[in-house]
Structure 1
């Protein structure tokens, strides 16, 4: 048991302290090392860790499949230049700094609800950064708006982020049911996020009305394909695909989600349809998929399953259960506080896996699962490390010096507390 706990702790040290000078291997590699450690334990001590077969079985295929499908659909939009056309449209409106802040926050949030928050941040971060720079604006408020808006808005649907995908699988709640019950609360949380960002950053955005010019450079379409984190580029000598194809595929996929189709295969099928309808080499599309994110979550499933096998999470739950709120409403509040704290320590997906038995033990499990999806998503805005989307935005545009852990927390903590409180209040009042 203790050997498993040691592997689990070492894994999260590698994940949280990804820039350790002794082993700077990064989050996906740290999670992969932990997964290998769990399998190795079963060889050294047959009663500990996971066998190779059990390790593969621990990976949740519906979550990974849905992630892959949504990433491919987002990448198809990027290859078609949809995001750049949207940025150019915004530029022509010559918005004031305040209106631009609201547009980035709300726009990234709504886009994340349909696509995927991580993918949206990968595609939009370079465009938001360039928009602010060309307008002579402080880019920090708009990068924060992109990250926090994408996190908050992704709570709208079960396909908006990895943790909601996991909640949908574990709870059995349908896409349509979640949208109807949690959607209004998530919209309130997104609106509060935008207002709080405005209030907290008003001094930094109080500048002249910018004259934006985001027309794509003439040579951009002929530029070679680049890493997704560096923005989109079409393959040499080829024109961009027709934007109507991915837009139509996403519309159909979203409709099928609402009608109750399998989320993972619907997303993968929609991405496949987009590839077939483009009738061209799809290598550039697959290059835009964040494979490291898929590796990261797949390995986390194995690490958490190894810990769950020991029974330690259940033992901890039984030990603290006498001190936890017992009523339907108070139980959700207690769960929400645990989510806010736990998601900062071990990230949202593994914490949901560890807290699964606690969530199921609530007086109203259905409400508890809805609250789990909402709070674990909004909790991503609490600290810089609370969400992968935050790291994507900061690292994609090289803003590590401007947006550090403390500077992010000064904005993220009040934004998260206010948006979470507003979303939960609506959810409890309606229920």
Structure 2
């Protein structure tokens, strides 16, 4: 038991150390090393770790497949230059700094609900950075708006982020039911996020770092050689409709991506190169590491020991679960914490409501700290803002934004029930 716990802790240290720039081996490599450790442990100590067959069985194919399909759809849309054209359209409107903040926050949130928050941040971070610089504005508020808006908005659907995909599989809640029940609460969370960012960053938004750049209006790259955006947009629309109608999420996304590739009749090598394969490897390996720890029964024992300290009952139990999620997602990240807490969530008086709250709070909790969401790290790293957005400077904004948005979304969810 303790040997498995040691492998799990060592894996998490490797993952966190990459994000803290102590051991530069990467999140995916750290998770892969942990997965290998669980399998090697089973060979060295009978009954410990996972056998090779158990390790492969632990990987959740529906989550991996949905991630792959949505990444390919996002890549096919990005290849058409649609995001560049959207950014150029915003730049031509010469919005006030405050309006630009709301456009970035809400726009990133709505896009993430359809296209996956990590993919949206990869595609939009350079464009948001360029828009702010061209207007002579401090770029930090807008980068924070992109990351936090993408996180908050991704709570709208089960396809908005990896943890919601996992919740959809574990709970059996349909895409349509989740959208109807959690959608309004997620929209409120997104709105509160935008307002809170405005209030907290109003001084930085008002101050200009430089005069607006005097240059020709920003236009996107010429469309020569680029495929039409109509094909991926149509495929994405069909996929979204099928999601609502109850089709299998993973295969619907994969088939939608395949249709977009076939209809373009082009070499798909460039699209596959845009897929974040390390992220897929990371989640696959993480499933194995968490399954090894779950086999020991330690997570269940820990949650049982902690449950008397949390409120109980149909309503207060959800509040207690939300507090546990808010803290636990900062310690071991949202996806592994949901995997570890599955039995505790299922044991709630109203498991359906508990799963809805899990998806909402675990997503909004990603804004709490810089390490709370992969999307945060992506935005910082893509535009090279590591020195300007540190752990403490992010937390000064992220903590109040998260507490306000979680409270508002949870209150609406409970009142609606």
Q: Which of 240, 243, 256 is 1:254 aligned to? A: 240
The alpha-carbon distance between structure 1 residues 22 and 189, as it changes in their structure 2 partners (threshold 3 A), is closer
Q: What residue in structure 2 maps to residue 214 of structure 1?
A: 218
Partner of 1:297 in structure 2? 283
- In the TM superposition, what is the alpha-carbon distance from 1:321 to its structure 2 partner? 2.5
In 1, the alpha carbon distance for the partners of 2:371 and 2:123 equals 20
Partner of 1:337: 323
Shift of 1:20: 7.0
Match of 1:205 in 2: 205
> How far, CA to CA, are the matches of 1:328 and 1:288 in structure 2?
44
Post-superposition shift, 1:214?
2.5
2:107 counterpart of 1:110: no
Q: What residue is the counterpart of 1:267 in the other structure? A: 253
Q: Do residues 401 (structure 1) and 387 (structure 2) align?
A: yes
CA RMSD of aligned residues (A): 1.4
Pairwise CA distance, 1:240: 0.4
5+ residue gaps, structure 1: 222-237
Asked if structure 2 preserves the Cα contact closer than 8 Å seen for 1:31 and 1:299, the reply is: yes
Taking the aligned partners of 1:159 and 1:382, their CA distance within structure 2 comes to: 21
1:189 positional shift: 0.1
How far off is 1:121 after superposition?
A: 0.4
1:364 aligns with 2:354: no
Q: Contact between 1:121 and 1:393, CA under 8 Å: does it hold in 2? A: yes
TM-superposed CA distance for 1:135, in Å, is 1.2
Aligned-pair distance for 1:320? 2.3
Matched with 1:307 is 293
Moved segments of 4+, more than 3 Å: 19-23, 207-213
Aligned length: 413
Which residue is equivalent to 1:72?
72
Q: Deviations over 1:250-303 (max 9, x none)?
A: 000000000000000000000000000000000000010011111111111000
Matched, 1:24 2:10: no
Query: Scaled by the length of structure 1, what TM-score is found?
Result: 0.94
Q: CA deviation at 1:323?
A: 2.5
Distance 1:217 1:175 in 2: 36
Q: 1:21–1:417: structure 2 CA closer, same or farther, 3 Å change rule?
A: closer
CA–CA distance in 1 between the matches of 2:240 and 2:252?
9
Given that 2:141 and 2:201 are in contact with CA atoms closer than 8 Å, whether structure 1 keeps it comes out as yes
Give, in whole Å, the separation in 2 of the partners of 1:94 and 1:277: 37
Rounded to whole Å, the distance in 1 between the matches of 2:109 and 2:351 is: 27
Q: Distance in 2 between matches of 1:23 and 1:142?
A: 29
**How does 1:32-431 map onto structure 2 within 5 Å?**
32-207=32-207, 213-217=217-221, 239-431=225-417
Q: 1:89 to 1:111 in 2, by over 3 A?
A: same
- Cα drift, residue 312 of structure 1: 0.7
Quote the Cα distance in structure 2 between the aligned partners of 1:22 and 1:138.
29
**For residues 37 and 282 of structure 2, what CA distance do their matches in structure 1 show?**
15
Q: Per-residue CA shift, 1:9-58, capped at 9, x if unaligned?
A: 00001111116777420111111110010011011012100011111110
CA distances 1:383-409 after superposition (whole Å, capped 9, x unpaired): 000000000000001000000000000
Deviation of 1:315 (Å): 1.2
CA apart distance, 1:207: 4.1
* 8 Å Cα contact 1:42-1:48 kept in structure 2: yes
8 Å CA contact retained: 2:97, 2:206: yes
Q: Are the counterparts in 2 of residues 19 and 25 from structure 1 also a CA contact under 8 Å?
A: no
What is the CA-CA distance between 1:316 and the residue it aligns to? 1.3
Residues 116, 130 of structure 1: CA spacing in aligned structure 2 closer, same or farther, 3 A cutoff?
Answer: same
- Any conservation in 1 of the 2:171–2:355 contact (CA below 8 Å)? yes
Q: Is the 8 A contact 1:97 1:210 kept in 2?
A: no
CA–CA distance in structure 2, aligned partners of residues 20 and 156 of structure 1: 30
Cα pair 2:81 2:220 within 8 Å, conserved: no
Secondary structure (helix, strand or coil) at the match of 1:17 reads helix
Contact 2:367 / 2:401 at 8 angstroms: preserved in 1?
yes
Q: CA deviation at 1:318?
A: 2.2
